[in-house]
Each structure stands twice: as C-alpha cells, then as structure tokens.
Chains A and B, each alone.
Chain A
Amino acid sequence: MSAISVSATQDAWGPRLGAFTEACAIPVIALVIAFVLFGVFIAAQGHDPFDVYATIYRGAFGSWFSVQNSLLRAAPIMLTALCTALPARAGFVVIGAEGAVVLGGLAAALTGIALNGAMPLFVITVMLLVGMVVGGVWIGAVGALKHYRGVNETISSLLLNYIAIAILNFLVFGMLKDPATLNKPSTFPIGDDNMIGVIGESSIHWGFVLALILCVSYWFVSRRTPFGFSLDIVGGNVRAAQVCGLPVGRLLVIACFLGGAAAGLAGAIEVAAIHGRANISLNAGYGYAGILVAFLARQNPLAIIPVAFLLGGIRASSGVLQRAHDLPDATVLVLQGLVFVCILASEMFYGRWQWFPAKAAVP
C-alpha cells in the first residue's frame, strides 16, 4: 500500500516539477544566449564584453540603489502589462495602455486638485480610483466597440492612444493650464500632502506595492474564478462560448475595463507619486513596454512581475553603460531586443524534453 502511495506522489510531482523546471530553465538559457549574442555585438564594436556585463549588473541589480532603481522602473510597466494581458485571455489584442495611462493620470490630477484640503488618505484613494475608472472606461470602450460595432480592437486601441495624448495636450495647454508652469505647461499641482510616499527608508513608493497587489489579484481573477474560466472559453472559441450561453459581450467589456483600470492606475500613480501634476511626461512609453512584457509573460499576471523587473533592470543599466563605457543609449535597446527575441524564440522548446523522466511511476 505504502509503495503505491509513494509512486502516486511521485507521479503527481514529477510532471509538476518538470513543468516548473522547464518554466525556469528555458528562459534562463535564452537569457544566457541573448547575453552571448550581445557580447559578440559589443566586442565587434571594440568594447570588452565582460566589462560591459559587469556594468550592466552593477547598474541593474548590483546594489540596493540599483535594485530600487529597477523596481521603480518596473512598477508602471507591471500595470500596463496587465492592460494587455487580461483582455488577451479572451483573445483580444489591446495595445491601448498608453492612452489609458495618460487619461488616468490626467483624471487623477484633476481629482486631486478638486479635493484639495480634504484628508490626504481620502484624496489619494479617490484619485487612484478615478484614475482606474477613467482608464477602465477608455479601454472598456475598445471592448464595446468590438462587440457592438465589430471594430478591430487592435486598431481602435492604437488610435485611441494618439487621441488621448491630443486630449491631454489640448487641455494642459488650454483651459487646465496652471499659469505658473511657464515652459512646461501642466495642470495645477495636487499638493504635497496628497502625494504617495515612499516605503520606510527606501526610495520605492507605495505605488509599487499597489502594482504587486494588482498583479496578484488579476492572477487570481483570471485563474481561479468562473469569470477567468469564461474568458478562457471566449478566447478559445467565441462561437463555443456563445453556444454555452456565456454573455460574451459583457465578458469582453469587463476584461477590457479591468485591463484599462490597471493602466489608468499606472497613470494615477505617476501623478500621485512622481509628478504631482499632469503633463505630457505621462506619455513615457510605458504602455508600449507593457505590451511586450505581457506577451513575454504569456499573459500570466504573476509572470509579469519578474519580466517587468528584468526590463526595469535593463533600462536602469542604461545610464551607467553610457557613462562608464561611452556607449550610446541605444545600446540597451539592442540588448532589450536581443533578450526578448531570444526569450520568445525559446518558447518553441517547451515540452520538447522530459526534464524528470517518470521512471519512478513505473510500478
């Protein structure tokens, strides 16, 4: 009896451990290959690749300062990645996080200005919620346009990015401009009291924690709730979902709303933790970085966290690379491209090898 139960546990553990090892080993091998290729590229330019590796490590993860730097850069990208990842479960390719960041940030700033004087915790909470709702409605509209009008979601979300940026510019240069912001037109400030602070002695603001929480809860929603399962069915086959009686339209709009809410929150955090007002700096390309992170994480909200951290780290090393080796800033773009191409290419190796041959399972 006991022998059987042992082999049964091994049966259950073997594949799981195998899958986990695979999920870790393949990207790591891909990463190594990317760095070798990058080293060849760097060496061809007459730099010592090992020196450059050391600098990248120092700039990205080598000290507490560098780690904080990488984490801070990862925070908004984690949220914008969710904007692509959640609708993607329903087979939707949304690339509109940039617009949701911009408008979420603008709405949060206006809320902060309007509520100025109230209790800071209350103001911050409402700001973040308004940012989320505005971002959610913006991307939710993409889902609604798709479902009710058949407008392709990729194109509409891309167009909405440009439109959102134009709206921000129009308002910030026009009626919402704080006359004191001379050469960089911005809204009025939300006030120092209403800014999100940092965690203890670190330089990491609480927005990072919110991003973590959102990643975990979106993972829970998409993997552990009927809503998540329904999304997967819609993503698998819309007709089948309709036959099953699932409210496809509502599911799509909700998924888009949740995705947009995450991006809107990213904008609100940018305003509440970094800028203190809304201006064109909100348009920093976080939305586009998020698309890549979402796909690399295979639309898994938990996997988004390490991927965003990796991207944040590579970006954080840019400055030191420029200063220590006189390399142009485009060097990290080349590295980013190589890393992501290699990790993507490595996906084809999933399931090719048996990491833990199930010998023990043979009775």
Chain B
Amino acid sequence: MMEEGASALGIFLAVLGGAIRVGTPFLFVSLGECLTERSGRINLGLEGSLLMGAMTGYAVSLLSGNPWLGVAAAGGAGLVLGFIHALLCQQPKINDIAVGIAMMIFATGLAFYFGKSFIQPVAPRLPSLDLGAWSTSPVVRAALDINILFLIGVALAPFMAWFFKYTRLGMVVRTVGESAESSRAMGFNVNRVRMLSTMAGGFLASIGGSYLSLYYPGSWNEGLSTGQGLMAVALVIFARWNPVYCLYASLLFGGAAALGPALQSVGITWGYYLFGAAPYVLTLAIMIATSSAQRRLAGMPNELSRIT
C-alpha cells in the first residue's frame, strides 16, 4: 500500500497489456462473425472453428516446426468448416442457429479427438514483437510485447470498414445482407456471396484460435477456450456490426477480463468472482443503456431478422 501510485499505474498497464493479449482472439472471431452477419447469415458455430483452429495450428506447428504454417493450416480448417456451414444453411428450411450449434459440437469433437496426441508435446510458438524496447520499465515492456497477429487484426478492422463502405464487393455483401430479393434482382448470386463471407468468417475465427494455442496463453489443451468463440458472436451485436467497434469491444472485453487477476496481484482481493463477471455485466449494462425499443438495432443487417 506504500506504493499506491505505482500500483495504480501497474494495474493500468496490466489491464492494457491484458486487453491486447486477451482481446486478440475476440477481435479475430468478432471480425469474422461481423463479415458473415453482414452478408445476412449467422454462424453460431465459431466456437468450434476457434477450437479447431487452435488444435490444427498447434499440431501443424509441431509437425512442421513452423508456427506460421500452423496459422495457415488453422485458417484452412476454418475455411472448410465455414464451407460446410454455408452449404447447409443455403438449403431451404434450414435454420442458421441450429446448424451453428451442431457444427460447434462437431468441430469441438474433432478438435478434441485429434488433439489428444498434441497436448503433451511442446510446439514452436509464434514470436512476439518487443515494441516496448525503448522503455526501461519491465512492466511497460511486458504490456507492449505483442504479437503481429494483433497488429494484423488492428489493421483489419478499419480495412474491413473501408471494404464495406467503399468497395464494390463490400457493397455487394451489404446489399445481400440487407435484402436477398433485391440482390437477386440486381443479378448478384446471393448464395455465393454468403458462402464466401461465411468461409472468410470461419477463416478469421480459426486464426483467432491459433493465436490462443500458438501465442497466448500458448498451449493446446481441452480447456483452452472458455467460450471466446461464443462470446464473440455477442460482441458483434454489441459492436453494432461495425468492424471498428468490434476492435474497441474486443479490447474492452480483454481488458475487463484482465482486471480481476491484475487487482489480486497487487493485493486487492475482494470479490474476484464478481470481477470475473465484470466483462459480462459491463457489456449488458452498455447494451441496456444504448439500446432503444423504438427502433431496430442500428446497423443490423435486415436479412438477419428472417433467421431469428
């Protein structure tokens, strides 16, 4: 307690570092889901893609000795899962949400089944960038010791926003998400657009999974994900289908998750179960404060209302 000021700064840095470390998988999954939902489809199975990505990434990194090959393989697994999801969903009378949950179970099962033999070995992990090298404080350096995937994610968010707003393809995706009927009238292939968006979404989610197994916390086991994939789906609604907001939401969520351990490590020991729930309470509170019964959620693709 003698170093009150230092502790406050320490907590701030720990939360900042945690926001980056913990937030990155949320960022990738939510960007993936954002793209999928913008095309008018929901994929609730990204938790499965995340786990499959984590397992595949770790396994391929171990077998090939190259973690980046692992990341690429994870992305491939996500593409395949996204493909199956999209293929099923574009059939008549099939509900996206149900397919999502079934695919989540299937992919989780596959990841655990094939992952058994990869729990013990230690695979090469992704390197980190020491962006805090200028600082003498180990705390600052730790907070800024980040992975390039995070930077890619940070760049991807505004890029995706730009893509939706200013590119022809982005406008096609949005049009398909707003109204399948008028898209068809304009000559777009609705199913193909959604197929590609879902595959890209699965790709990003699996990359997020490979971040978990290959960087932070950087190991593969069955308890690796504590629902990041499921939660990211909620984050997209929270972020109003805006990729840049997805970035903020992911950082907020990561930081809130880091708050509990950070407080305890400086001796603030009260109510860690409640602090553990802080991210969820915070998200709910913001949702309640910013929603309105009068209008549809701003930014919600119109076609989504047909699914639910």
Name A residues whose Cβ lies closer than 8 Å to a Cβ of B.
Answer: 91-93, 145, 147-152, 154-156, 158-160, 162-163, 165-167, 169-170, 173, 288, 291-292, 295-296, 328-338, 340-341, 344-345, 347-348, 350
Is B237 part of the binding interface, using a Cβ–Cβ cutoff of 8 Å? yes
C-alpha spacing A341/B107, complex, angstroms:
11
Is B150 part of the binding interface, using a Cβ–Cβ cutoff of 8 Å? no
A333 and B108 contact, CB distance less than 8 A: yes
Name B residues whose Cβ lies closer than 8 Å to a Cβ of A.
Answer: 84, 88, 91-95, 97-99, 101-103, 105-113, 115-116, 227, 230-231, 233-234, 237-238, 271, 273-274, 276-277, 280-281, 283-284, 287-288, 291-295, 297, 308
C-alpha spacing A345/B116, complex, angstroms:
29
A150 and B291 contact, CB distance less than 8 A: yes
Chain B residues near A344 (CB-CB < 8 A): 88, 94-95, 98-99, 102
10 A–B pairs (Cβ distance < 8 Å), ordered by A: A154-B234, A155-B283, A159-B280, A163-B277, A173-B273, A333-B113, A337-B103, A337-B105, A337-B109, A344-B94
Q: Which of A169, A336, A345 contacts B94 (CB 8 A)?
A: A345
Chain B residues near A166 (CB-CB < 8 A): 273-274, 276-277, 280
B274 and A93 contact, CB distance less than 8 A: no
Chain B residues near A145 (CB-CB < 8 A): 288
C-alpha spacing A288/B101, complex, angstroms:
9
Closest A residue by C-beta to B297: A152
Give the 6 A-B residue pairs with the shortest CB-CB distance, closest first.
A337-B106, A333-B109, A295-B98, A166-B277, A330-B112, A334-B109
C-alpha spacing A58/B211, complex, angstroms:
41
Chain B nearest Cβ from A42, distance in angstroms = 11
B88 and A292 contact, CB distance less than 8 A: no
A337 and B297 contact, CB distance less than 8 A: no
B237 and A149 contact, CB distance less than 8 A: no
C-alpha spacing A337/B221, complex, angstroms:
20
C-alpha spacing A91/B305, complex, angstroms:
9
Chain A nearest Cβ from B130, distance in angstroms = 34
Chain A residues near B234 (CB-CB < 8 A): 154-155, 158-159
Chain B nearest Cβ from A65, distance in angstroms = 26
A155 and B106 contact, CB distance less than 8 A: no
C-alpha spacing A186/B230, complex, angstroms:
28
Q: Which of B93, B97, B291 contacts A295 (CB 8 A)?
A: B97
Q: Which of A148, A154, A329, A332 contacts B237 (CB 8 A)?
A: A154
B112 and A328 contact, CB distance less than 8 A: yes
C-alpha spacing A296/B294, complex, angstroms:
33
Q: Which of A155, A173, A331, A340 contacts B105 (CB 8 A)?
A: A340
Known: A149-B292, A159-B234. A336 touches B97 (CB 8 A): no
Chain B residues near A348 (CB-CB < 8 A): 91-94
Chain B residues near A347 (CB-CB < 8 A): 91, 93-94
